Amino acid sequence: MHFFLFLLGIPFLFILLVPILYKLFNPRVHIGWFVLAAPVILFVHLFRFLPEVRSGSVPVFTVPWIPSLGMNLTATVDGLSLLFGLLITGMGALVILYSVYYMSKTRDALHNFYVYLLLFMGAMLGVVFSDHLLVLYVFWELTSIASFLLIAFWYERKTSRAGALKALLITVSGGFSMLAGFIILGMISGTASIREIIAQAGELRGDPLFVPAMVLILVGAFAKSAQFPFSIWLPDAMEAPTPISAYLHSATMVKAGLYLVARLTPVFGGTALWFWLVSGAGIVTLLYGSITAVKQADLKALLAYSTVSQLGLIMSLLGIGSLAWLYENEALASAFAVAMFAGIFHLFNHSVFKGSLFMTVGIIDHETGTRDIRRLGGLMNVMPVTFTVALIGAFSMAGLPPFGGFLSKEMFFEGTLKTSAVADFGLDAFGAVFPAFALAASVFTFVYCMIFVFKTFAGKYRPETFKRKIHEAPPGMLIPALLLAAVTVLVFFFPDVPAEWILRPAALAAVPASVGRFGEISAWHGFSPPLLMTAGVVLAGVLLYRTLEKWSPLYRHYPQKFTLNAIYVWMLEQYESLSRTLTDRYMTGSARHYLMYIFLFFILGVGGFLLASGGLGADLANDAPIGLFDAVVVVSIILAALTAAMTNNRITAIVALSVAGYMVVILFVIFRAPDLALTQMVVETVTTVLFLLCFYHLPQLEKRMEKPKFKLTNFFTAAGVGLVVTLFTLAAFDHKLFKPITAFFENSYELAGAKNIVNAIIVDFRGFDTLLEISVLTAAGLGVYTLVRLGMKGRDADETE
């Protein structure tokens, strides 16, 4: 089976199976056990590509999708996409196993939960393996939709609905910006294939649209990866169930923007704007997230802001690593290629330790009933395994040995120090900002990691503060967290295993292959500046943690109206107020006003286009002569229409309208179109009967004098529409841009086996159009049926009461 079809087919196949399995087995068997097979199968399938990708091979698989638009399902399996694919499926398997014990079989709608989760998994796989920009965008927005559904899973909570809406507004708005950037990039490169765009990257940089494409794409990447100032959606997204937080907001969705930046670094890397935007946004986000995390009292909120901070760290490394494209000197380029490798390395580490930390918070919430740090404490003795996992994850995030986060954090410090020594892009003047921000943010990272561990697990155990007896979590919830904690420790002692098999191939996708020598990963490089920075972080962090009660009240002095959330709420209120005012202006409740808007827009739009384009004019010399009978029929139609519009008698209006319709039937007969004449006659007959049946039950029209202005406005509007339609018809008839397709349809018997040309056009040549029309009618019929049924149920309920 084709790679891409298999990769996307498994999640979407399980989406179809989940409702059936839920109906058959729930609540006797948790359907999570069935769903677990999907990520496991995909992980094993992707794992088989490791030797091939490690050797430098890049398999490419293509399935035609919309060949006429050049859109195909093309999957590129290089180190970067494979790393993300393994994270998506591996973390997905662990999260689903965890959710089997976390989610209730009776209280939670598990069929919805797993359908949304599988939809997200399939969309993320589509993002990271797609080679076509527009196909990538389709899956990109699908992740936003799936994330919205997952965040709002407990939709009865107002906070869940608000968090889902905020995430959707910000990420989808960023996605629209990214789409515009993709379109521009495709225009200037002449292709939508990422591989082909990378191949001609050097030629694109002189194009005037290069910079707009870059900025628009980065807005989408920053919004998805919660970079400042788009970071406000991520903390509110923590209203989702904890398994979702562990999956979407630590390992997968928030990494999509990082993936896009890394993927397009060969296109935009080495330019000053790309470097400053990517690394600048990252380093500011790192500091903002770490400072904000310290003041949080909710464990998930603390982890949310820590995720924002860590995403900023990775983004800054990707920006620093992009300098590798600037230098031809191999030694200098390799030095910055190490920063790119460090970004990929920390991305991997963060997915592992943050996943375990979210699972830890879920365990605490599940067993104690609270995530409030002020109510917790002393859990070390009653939950020793959970404490061990939390300690490993938090210390790895803090960058302490012997955990994997220490290795990538040291490389981060090294990258910032190298940046401060560069003379290009104004770094000789502002380069010191990077190590300074990195050091300050790392100190606050150390502080909130200590808060997470010691405020929760150390201190005196107070059982009276909990409504239940506290005990260790069931093995099913501990096993996924323990596996991730074990990986965190093993990476420290055996870093070359993941580095050689997946991290270096992933980094090579973002830096020139000629400088892809990333050095050796080692826990000890002597008393180097990065090690001294780590020592400074520990000393300052311990001091700040010990004096936390003295300086933490400073947070309360910051004006709340200047926070990003307050600005978001204010903007939302202003948009709602503006839209309400604007809507009230044109939504008057008058059908006449609505028709006037439509007709005036038509007159101005179509008529203005004809004037602006010089399309007015028609040659009537070769037209057929208008006979007396034709003129009589046309005049009859006009008189019938005027009668229908001006009469105050309902029966007269119906008859006049029918006369106009039957006169059109006569015109079709004159023009020798019997099929159209027959159709028109049937429609007019049915319409007339329906009008008579309906109007019989309606009240009589009131006889009243209309204001002259009212009639005059209607007259000019109708005359304008008629004039524009006439002029447009004549212009269209006189300007034939293409050869007539009459000859094609005359071969209907040879092409479609149909002796009736009209039937062949409707059924064969316009088959999809007819199918869509039938679908619309079916949807409308189902809607009417649903409304009728709901109305009947409402009446039955009223009668019962």
Residue 672: in which H helix or E strand, if any? none
Question: Is the distance from CB of 362 to CB of 303 less than 8 angstroms?
Answer: no
- Structural domain range at position 520: 3-546
Query: What is the number of domains present in the chain?
Result: 2
Q: Is the residue at 560 inside a domain?
A: no
Q: Distance between CA atoms of 504 and 521, rounded to whole angstroms?
A: 11
Q: Distance between CA atoms of 331 and 324, rounded to whole angstroms?
A: 10
Q: Which of 255, 262, 310, 220 is nearest to 87 (CA)?
A: 255
Say which residue the tokens 């820590």 belong to: 306
Q: Is the residue at 470 inside a domain?
A: yes
* Number of other CB atoms surrounding residue 374 within 10 Å: 10
Say which residue the tokens 């939508």 belong to: 192
Sign (positive or negative) of CA dihedral 638, 644, 645, 647? positive
User: Which one of 502, 521, 546 terminates a domain?
Assistant: 546
**Which position has the higher pLDDT, 396 or 675?**
396
This prediction has a pTM of: 0.79
- For 519, how many CA atoms within 13 A lie in the half-sphere containing its CB? 21
Q: Distance between CA atoms of 626 and 622, rounded to whole angstroms?
A: 12
pLDDT digits (tens, 9 = 90+) for 375-425: 888 888 889 999 999 999 999 999 998 999 999 999 999 888 888 777 777
pLDDT digits (tens, 9 = 90+) for 259-313: 999 999 999 988 889 999 999 999 999 999 999 999 998 899 999 999 999 999 9
User: Which one of 546, 578, 604 terminates a domain?
Assistant: 546
Q: Distance between CA atoms of 31 and 33, rounded to whole angstroms?
A: 5
Q: Distance between CA atoms of 204 and 187, rounded to whole angstroms?
A: 11
Q: Is the residue at 719 inside a domain?
A: no
Full 3-state SS string of 748-797:
HHHHHCCCCHHHHHHHHHCHHHHHHHHHHHHHHHHHHHHHHHHHHHHHHH
501: left (phi over 0), alpha (psi -120 to 50) or beta: alpha
Q: Which of 353, 393, 341, 387 is nearest to 367 (CA)?
A: 387
**Which position has the higher pLDDT, 625 or 242?**
242
Q: Which of 776, 778, 744, 736 is nearest to 761 (CA)?
A: 744
End-to-end CA distance of the chain: 59
Instruction: Find the range with the poorest average confidence among 257-271, 536-550, 612-626.
Output: 612-626
pLDDT band for position 539 (cuts 50, 70, 90): very high
pLDDT band for position 754 (cuts 50, 70, 90): confident
Question: Is the distance from CB of 110 to CB of 262 less than 8 angstroms?
Answer: no
Q: Is the residue at 641 inside a domain?
A: no
Burial class of residue 190 (count of CB atoms within 10 Å of its CB; 0-12, 13-18, 19+): exposed
Angle, CA 469 vertex, CA 466 and CA 471 arms, to 5°? 115
**Which position has the higher pLDDT, 470 or 708?**
470
Output the six-digit token pair for 100.
Answer: 């089997």
Angle, CA 602 vertex, CA 601 and CA 607 arms, to 5°? 110
SS3 703: coil
DSSP label of 68: G
Sign (positive or negative) of CA dihedral 594, 596, 600, 602? positive
Mean pLDDT (the chain, rounded): 85
Statement: residue 798 has pLDDT above 70: no
Residue 576: in which H helix or E strand, if any? helix 564-586
SS3 474: coil
User: Which one of 503, 526, 546 terminates a domain?
Assistant: 546
Q: Distance between CA atoms of 493 and 37, rounded to whole angstroms?
A: 31
SS3 99: helix
Question: Is the distance from CB of 144 to CB of 175 less than 8 angstroms?
Answer: yes
Q: Distance between CA atoms of 568 and 554, rounded to whole angstroms?
A: 23
pLDDT digits (tens, 9 = 90+) for 697-718: 666 655 544 444 556 788 888 8
Q: Is the residue at 706 inside a domain?
A: no
Q: Is the residue at 632 inside a domain?
A: no
Q: Which pLDDT does position 705 carry in this prediction?
A: 42
Q: Distance between CA atoms of 99 and 376, rounded to whole angstroms?
A: 23
Q: Which pLDDT does position 479 carry in this prediction?
A: 93
**Strongest mean pLDDT among 98-107, 486-495, 737-746:** 486-495
Instruction: Find the range with the poorest average confidence among 28-42, 403-417, 459-473, 719-733.
Output: 459-473
Q: Is the residue at 216 inside a domain?
A: yes
Q: Distance between CA atoms of 352 and 481, rounded to whole angstroms?
A: 9
Say which residue the tokens 């943050």 belong to: 354
pLDDT band for position 183 (cuts 50, 70, 90): very high
Burial class of residue 52 (count of CB atoms within 10 Å of its CB; 0-12, 13-18, 19+): middle
Q: Which pLDDT does position 707 carry in this prediction?
A: 44
Distances (CA, A) of 313 to 181, 449, 495, 768: 25, 16, 20, 50
Q: Is the residue at 629 inside a domain?
A: no
Q: Which of 366, 539, 540, 373 is nearest to 454 (CA)?
A: 373
SS3 207: coil
